[in-house]
Amino acid sequence: MPELPEVEVTRRGIAPHVEGRTVTGIVLRRSGLRWPFPPDLPALLTGRRIEATGRRGKYLLIRFAHGTLLVHLGMSGHLRMLAPGVPPQKHDHFDLELGSQVMRFTDPRRFGAVLWHANDDGDIEAHMLLRSLGVEPLGKLTSGELAQCLHRQTRTRSAAIKQVLLAGDIVVGVGNIYACESLFMSGINPNTAARRISLPRYERLAVAIQQVLAAAIEQGGSSLRDFIGVDGASGYFQQSYFVYDREGEPCTRCGATIERLVQSGRSTFYCRNCQT
């Protein structure tokens, strides 16, 4: 599944092609994906100018003067910028036409979403899919502020820190790959109860989260099985993994064997020696 870095890579990829452009047409090739497409989307957007792009967690936000188009890539979706007239393939479900270019949404598993939120319905942060999301780990938030947030909001959390990171209600976008890498970099065992982690350890974790996510974005994200960038290229952050998907291999720090455990149905990779 595309995580925060892959979604941010996508946003940065489409931004120079769509911002300031006027929508000339909308093509819907099915009734919807995870949720139905807004049936009046062509009437809502055709002739309207895209003011800006943004991101909230794993949701892409394409902002217009009268509302926001929300795009979620789901399990296997991606966006591409194409020339007009490129024939659609089997899993190409949605086109945003911009005159000399087309933004096309491809989603083989159809778990993605294209939704509309009008300004008349309130602030976009109040949207039902966004309002319960935690803080953004990148942007204006310093590592110290992120650490304070994690420490304050996990005081009653008996769940393992890895599961708390994945929940997304305290901090967003730290998916499975990047949680494993961040916990390794900060020396925290993924099984440690969140409430038992001290503020100094959260400070190390906050720095690690921000460094891991920033590095992944700069390297184009991870080459997940179904993810490609807007330009059709795969990310190469996976070449820098310390622990993720390295079960049985030696730790790059201490030489001990990287282990795998399953937490809530997700694989966790870690070094028992380095992470206590």
Q: Taking residues 45-69, what's their average pLDDT? A: 97
pLDDT at 218: 87
Task: For residue 232, name the pLDDT band (cuts at 50, 70, 90).
Answer: low
Q: How many angstroms separate the first and last alpha carbons of the chain? A: 28
Q: Does the pLDDT of residue 73 top 60, yes or no?
A: yes
Q: What is the pLDDT of residue 227?
A: 53
Q: pLDDT tens across 2-42, in order?
A: 889 989 999 999 999 999 999 999 999 999 999 999 999 99
**Of 21, 110, 253, 266, catalytic:** 266
* Backbone phi, psi, residue 208, to 5°: -65, -45
**Residue 58 annotated in active site:** yes
pLDDT value of position 172: 95
User: Is 39 annotated as catalytic?
Assistant: no
**Annotated active-site residue in 2, 38, 137, 190:** 2
Single out the catalytic residue among 3, 97, 181, 203: 3
CA 188 to CA 207: how far, in whole Å? 13
pTM: 0.89
User: What pLDDT sits at residue 106?
Assistant: 95
> How do strand 78-82 and strand 92-97 relate by DSSP bridges?
unpaired
Residues 172, 138: Cα–Cα separation, whole Å: 10
pLDDT in tens, 255-275: 999 999 999 999 999 999 999
Residue 266 designated active-site: yes
Q: Tokens 């769940």 label which residue? A: 159
pLDDT > 60? residue 229:
no
The residue with tokens 């974005």 is 217
Report the alpha-carbon angle 246-250-253, nearest 5.
105
Burial class of 120 by CB neighbour count within 10 A (0 to 12, 13 to 18, 19+): exposed
| Helix spans in the chain (H) | 4-18, 41-45, 143-153, 161-167, 176-186, 199-218
Of the candidates 56, 58, 80, 201, the residue annotated as catalytic is: 58
What is the residue-averaged pLDDT of the chain? 93
Nearby residues of 108 by Cβ (< 8 Å), 6 or more positions away: 76, 91, 226
Pairwise CA distance, residues 245 & 254, whole Å: 17
Does the annotation mark 3 as catalytic? yes
